[in-house]
Structure 1
Amino acid sequence: SVIDRESGEEIAAGLVVGERPPLEGVERALYLAPSSDLLVRNLILPARGDSEARQAAPFAIEEEIAGSLEDTAIAVGRRRADGSRWVHAADKALVERWQRIASSINVRPAWLLPEAMALESEAGDLLIADEDNDVVFLNRTGTGPVCGRIEAEPSAILFPELLAQLRPGSVAMTPRVRLPGLAAEAAPKTLHAMAPVDFARAASGLPDAVLRDLPALLGNRHSASTDWAALASPFRRAGVLAIAALVLFAGFSLGEGLYLRSEAARLDLRAETAFREAFPDVTRVVNLEAQLRQRVGTSQGGGSDFLALTAAFAGLLEDGATLNIDALRYDAASGALSVSATYPGFDSFEALRDRALSAGLLIEDEGARQDGAQVRGEFRVRFSR
């Protein structure tokens, strides 16, 4: 869509990839990525500058990345007044596709942001809005995932547990979002309605100051107002010849080898220093990568693991299950859901366990008792891997 920022008027809509929109007078381009495809974190990194922040970011989010670090593009935003930085990560193949789209539109500056940021102008600690058949949320509590996108059906199970973990003081949601009854201790103090959200129109109102803090996941070329690479193209051939002469004259290969060895030693020392500052109780560093993975794994909250496990369990219940869930708790230390449920008989529970194994889940029985015509049971759910 092409939207006038001052009036909010939509000048053009319904454009498809490959079709060039009317761009006369367009000052910036915003590309809204599904919050389920873009990992977003707001972190205070142990770094003194942008370069060190880029080195530290992969360690901070490694456990939350679905794929390997080699297949993931990671970008870090500039340091804000409170010391925090935005960190964005996504699959490299997806990022390359987004970059091709941005290059075809060719409007600068261009920013890639999660669709949930379109809710920034709304008030509340937790903002929940429907988008097509999904539910998008933006979390301002300071704990848990910053934003996300969940299919509408399992959200009825996910959001009560999410609210119990985040404990937001105020929640705003669009009329089509439905939440089941919440326990008194998990219910927010304020719950109010929010008008249906046109995400493209809402995002167009974001001020430039907010966008400048975002990571340049599309590349610095797109986030800059001026295409310096294009301006420098007439001088490219002369520059290449000059660099080639310099390389031959200086013996670049030998110098590069010495430099890389010294840089590797310096980075290893900085990484160990940052690790010791983050975990002062460590007296000996033997295998920095393994020790860091162990410490991060035991210290972080596991918000993405909770969402993945609960979504898988919700899908299991939709597949013809006859259970009624009475209570649901997540234990980050063990990575398991503790479930209290009511079901018609013990055979129903055994059938659920069999289906769980086929779905990659393991259900551990923690006791059950007959209550009239029903059975009340406790069990734990975890991934079988």
Structure 2
Amino acid sequence: MARLYALLTPDDRLLFARARGRDWIVDEDRSGIETRGRNVTVFLNGLDVLGLNVSIPARYDNEARRAAPFAVEDELAESVEDSHVALADIGKDDAAQTRDVNVVSSSRMAELIQFLTDEGLPEAELIAAHSLLPAKNILFEAPGLVLGRINGRGFALDPSLGRDVLIGISEAHSDLEIHGVQVARALGRETQSPGATSLETLLIQLAAWAEAGQPHIRLRQGAYEARRHVDIDGFGHWKFAGLLAAVTALGWFSSVVLETSAMNNRAQALDNLTQEFARIGWPEFDGNVQQAMAEARSVSGQGTQGYLNLLDATAALYDAMAQVEGSELRTVRYDRVRRQMTASVAFQSFADVDRLTAILNSGSLSARSGDARQSGSKVIGDLTLETTG
């Protein structure tokens, strides 16, 4: 069934948009909605959703989601423990690439999920409007709202904040694209379009961006992921072919379960490495990872010459390992006195040790390898990383 798009209005109503050929029909008609709203995407104005663009050193998407709260905590006005962090799906294969992130309070997410449940749409998706904006510096005017993206950060502003706020965020960006007469007048610039002059036209524009495949962030991730229900009432009516399909599906599901278990085991191993890293590098914090990272940021913020930034070094290491097939990180240690990070990595051959060292040295870090040794079918190499300055 076709995807339906909805806009949550300021008075907590839902307007729905349906594609009809090249046009859109917008009304409050709920026909065409699948069970539990699983084909519905609800757009939020985004006033209570913070958009960020951060560097997250991770090779895999589940690792990135675990690391995201630590990457954004300095940007938040409230505790990261009270916030929900959602990541864009794009760029997940590049450990050095920045990721678009949306942050919303956990209490607000709980309210939104309850609202969807009350509306009979417990499996509908949620997207902040500003996460759909094109990837450029842009301001887009809508009724009672200004959507924006500047330097990769998405946001929504209440126009009542005044002209000075708009000037403050835009004056350094001569390439800013403006859609909206009032915003253009306030900034003394030209406008490319009127923006959205009604809630209906705003919904149509957001739906058009989504249908065109514009990258965006789903807010329903992690603990707020929609729980899909499976209807098996018709199982007794299946014929032989249907049963074969069911057996095949069960086999596929079992393989997914095994893969998920392996991913969870790897994530747990990384958590253990991080814990050991904090325990050895900062013994006074008794293995408290958050305190250790806070201390690292504090020292880094003091501008100490030659200080090794832990997140940057880890990102560089992961990025380099991605270029050496079969390499596996075993342990990481940090020496605060020498300002060095030592990584023990398993390789498929002795030549791979030199290859990884060369890749790291071609970047912003200085790397040297110690004596490599054979361990079973693997070669274990110890690499020492430090700044080049």
Give TM-score scaled by structure 2 length.
0.50
1:291 to 292, 295, 299: 295
SS in 2 for 1:48: coil
Note the C-alpha offset of 1:96: 0.9
Separation of aligned partners in 2, 1:88 and 1:171: 22
Separation of aligned partners in 2, 1:286 and 1:91: 20
SS in 1 for 2:182: coil
1:148 to 141, 156, 180: 156
Write the deviation string for residues 329-362 of structure 1: whole angstroms up to 9, x where unpaired. Answer: xxxxxxxxxxxxxxxxxxxxxxxxxxxxxxxxxx
Partner of residue 139, structure 2: 127
Partner of residue 117, structure 2: 103
1:72 to 60, 64, 83: 83
Separation of aligned partners in 1, 2:38 and 2:220: 19
Partner of residue 87, structure 1: 101
- Given that 2:38 and 2:124 are in contact with CA atoms closer than 8 Å, whether structure 1 keeps it comes out as no
Q: Equivalent residues in 2 for 1:199-348 (5 A)?
A: 199-207=202-210, 210=213, 214-217=217-220, 228-231=228-231, 264-269=271-276, 287-294=291-298
- Given that 2:17 and 2:26 are in contact with CA atoms closer than 8 Å, whether structure 1 keeps it comes out as yes
Amino acid at match of 2:178: A
Amino acid at match of 2:142: D
- Given that 1:31 and 1:110 are in contact with CA atoms closer than 8 Å, whether structure 2 keeps it comes out as yes
Amino acid at match of 1:10: I
Give % identity.
17
Amino acid at match of 1:45: I
Compute the RMSD of aligned alpha carbons.
4.4
- Given that 1:170 and 1:191 are in contact with CA atoms closer than 8 Å, whether structure 2 keeps it comes out as no
Note the C-alpha offset of 1:114: 1.7
- Given that 2:88 and 2:100 are in contact with CA atoms closer than 8 Å, whether structure 1 keeps it comes out as yes
SS in 2 for 1:4: strand
Paired positions, count: 244
- Given that 1:58 and 1:74 are in contact with CA atoms closer than 8 Å, whether structure 2 keeps it comes out as yes
- Given that 1:141 and 1:168 are in contact with CA atoms closer than 8 Å, whether structure 2 keeps it comes out as no
Separation of aligned partners in 2, 1:28 and 1:296: 47
Would the alpha carbon gap of residues 9 and 34 (structure 1) be closer, same or farther in structure 2, given more than 3 Å must change? closer
SS in 2 for 1:9: strand
- Given that 1:139 and 1:146 are in contact with CA atoms closer than 8 Å, whether structure 2 keeps it comes out as yes
Note the C-alpha offset of 1:53: 0.7
Would the alpha carbon gap of residues 41 and 8 (structure 1) be closer, same or farther in structure 2, given more than 3 Å must change? farther
Partner of residue 196, structure 1: 196
Amino acid at match of 1:172: I
Would the alpha carbon gap of residues 214 and 271 (structure 1) be closer, same or farther in structure 2, given more than 3 Å must change? farther
Structure 2: state its 5+ residue gaps.
1-14, 235-265, 282-288, 304-389
Give TM-score scaled by structure 1 length.
0.51
Partner of residue 146, structure 2: 136
Partner of residue 357, structure 2: none
Would the alpha carbon gap of residues 297 and 55 (structure 1) be closer, same or farther in structure 2, given more than 3 Å must change? farther
- Given that 2:139 and 2:177 are in contact with CA atoms closer than 8 Å, whether structure 1 keeps it comes out as yes
Amino acid at match of 1:175: V
Partner of residue 9, structure 1: 24
Separation of aligned partners in 2, 1:296 and 1:102: 44
SS in 1 for 2:181: coil
Amino acid at match of 2:157: R
